[in-house]
């Protein structure tokens, strides 16, 4: 399919696969999924969370005992500030503000404890997607962690595709969390390996980007074969929009769609949902 008006000179092909559970050979899955579709010069965009899940980079938040700081963050920072003035300044949706005002105390504190341990305080002060931690499209109390060496994973994918299909491609690993741009200044919500993206620190990037109405696009966590950061951001956004959100864009949406409590989603439920962790992007004539 072509991207819907977002970038008319980019063709995007959404590729469906099965749900990648821990232990999935995701490189082999990608090669087989794009075989017969990919051309020389294409860009293969892959969901970071899907790779993290396949690699087993997930943790069960039910095993974590929240400390005092995690509880304070939930009760005052998330419920009162993100659910109030910070959320309004950031122009969050009404439904999102309502969810934040009713953020679960115990489950939320466990989530913030995980964020504090793995990505630090400034990221834990985010209202969601703390440092790349993501709970959507995962079962029970699991969350996916950010890839520690995303560029190496991208290189593995590119090499495997060339070896198996003979096609030379570029690779993007994409996080749906937004980066923000003003002219040639690109602010990432976390430290990423794509050159040209600057990280200010934790929640500040998101808050400033939303308050100042900066251009928001999905984040290219790693970029192999694409030297222009603005192009990498554009491609990441196209891929993110075309790919869709699987069982839901947030844990609340996922639970609501599947008709269960926040921690009631199972592996079996997720396997029944359509997943498109791969998007083939093709630059048409005239875009450099």
Per-residue pLDDT of 126-150, as tens digits, reads 999 999 999 989 999 999 999 999 9
Summarize the confidence of residues 114-128 as an average pLDDT. Answer: 96
Structure confidence at residue 72 (pLDDT): 98
Share of the chain above pLDDT 90, in %: 86
- pLDDT grade for 251, boundaries at 50, 70 and 90: confident
Contacts of 166 (CB under 8 A, 6+ apart): none
Most confident region among 113-117, 259-263, 284-288 by mean pLDDT = 113-117
In the predicted structure, residue 285 carries a pLDDT above the cut 70: no
Strands 198-199 and 185-188: parallel
Q: Which carries the bigger pLDDT value, residue 59 or residue 9?
A: 59
pLDDT averaged over the chain?
93
- pLDDT at position 52 is 98
Query: Is residue 106's pLDDT more than 70?
Result: yes
How many residues are given for the chain?
288
pLDDT tops 70 at residue 8: no
Contacts (Cβ under 8 Å, ≥6 apart) of 145: 52, 57, 58, 59, 118, 132, 133
Domain 10-48+150-283 has CATH 3.40.50: no
Every domain of the chain and the residues it spans: 10-48+150-283, 59-144
- Position with higher pLDDT, 246 vs 6: 246
Cα–Cα–Cα angle for 11, 17, 20, nearest 5°? 125
The C-alpha atoms of residue 252 and residue 261 are separated, in whole angstroms, by 9
Lowest mean pLDDT, pick from 5-9, 50-54, 115-119, 262-266: 5-9
| Average confidence (pLDDT) over 271-282 | 94
Burial (CB count within 10 angstroms: exposed 0-12, middle 13-18, buried 19+), residue 201:
middle
Residues 6 or more apart from 222 whose CB is under 8 A from it?
147, 150, 151, 153, 154, 171, 172, 173, 192, 193, 194
185: Cα within 13 Å, side-chain hemisphere:
6
C-alpha to C-alpha distance for 238 and 10, rounded to whole angstroms: 8
Could you give the CA distance from residue 34 to residue 21 in angstroms, rounded to a whole number?
Answer: 19
Overall average pLDDT of the 67-80 stretch: 98
What is the rounded CA–CA span in Å between residue 69 and residue 73? 6
Q: How far apart are CA 85 and CA 90, in angstroms?
A: 8
Alpha-helical regions (H) of the chain: 26-34, 48-54, 68-72, 85-89, 94-101, 105-118, 121-124, 150-165, 203-211, 229-243, 251-258, 267-271
Residue 6, pLDDT > 60, answer no
Q: How much is the pTM? A: 0.91
The predicted structure's pLDDT at residue 112: 98
* CA 9/CA 283 separation, integer angstroms: 6
205 has a pLDDT exceeding 80: yes
Q: What is the DSSP letter of 20?
A: -
More confident residue, 255 or 186: 186
- The pLDDT score that the predictor gives to residue 4 is 42
């Amino acid at each position: 399919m072509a991207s819907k008006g977002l970038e008319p000179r980019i063709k995007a092909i959404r590729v469906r696969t099965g749900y990648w559970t821990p232990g999935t050979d995701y490189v082999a899955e990608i090669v087989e999924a794009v075989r017969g579709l990919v051309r020389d010069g294409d860009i293969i965009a892959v969901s970071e969370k899907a790779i993290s899940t396949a690699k087993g980079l997930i943790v069960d938040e039910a095993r974590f005992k929240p400390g005092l700081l995690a509880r304070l963050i939930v009760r005052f920072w998330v419920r009162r500030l993100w659910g109030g003035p910070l959320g309004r300044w950031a122009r969050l949706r009404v439904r999102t503000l309502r969810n934040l005002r009713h953020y679960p105390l115990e489950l939320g504190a466990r989530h913030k404890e995980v964020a504090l341990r793995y990505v630090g305080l400034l990221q834990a002060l985010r209202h969601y997607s703390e440092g790349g931690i993501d709970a959507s499209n995962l079962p029970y109390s699991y969350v996916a962690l950010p890839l520690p060496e995303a560029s190496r994973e991208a290189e593995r994918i590119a090499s495997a595709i060339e070896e198996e299909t003979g096609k030379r491609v570029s690779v993007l690993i994409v996080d749906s969390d937004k980066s923000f741009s003003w002219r040639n200044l690109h602010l990432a919500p976390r430290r990423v390996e794509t050159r040209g993206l600057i990280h200010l620190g934790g929640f500040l990037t998101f808050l400033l980007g939303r308050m100042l109405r900066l251009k928001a696009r999905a984040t290219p966590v790693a970029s192999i074969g694409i030297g222009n950061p603005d192009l990498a951001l554009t491609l990441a956004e196209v891929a993110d929009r075309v790919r869709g959100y699987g069982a839901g864009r947030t844990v609340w949406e996922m639970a609501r769609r599947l008709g269960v409590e926040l921690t009631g989603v199972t592996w079996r439920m997720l396997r029944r949902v359509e997943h498109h962790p791969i998007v083939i992007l093709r630059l048409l004539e005239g875009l450099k």
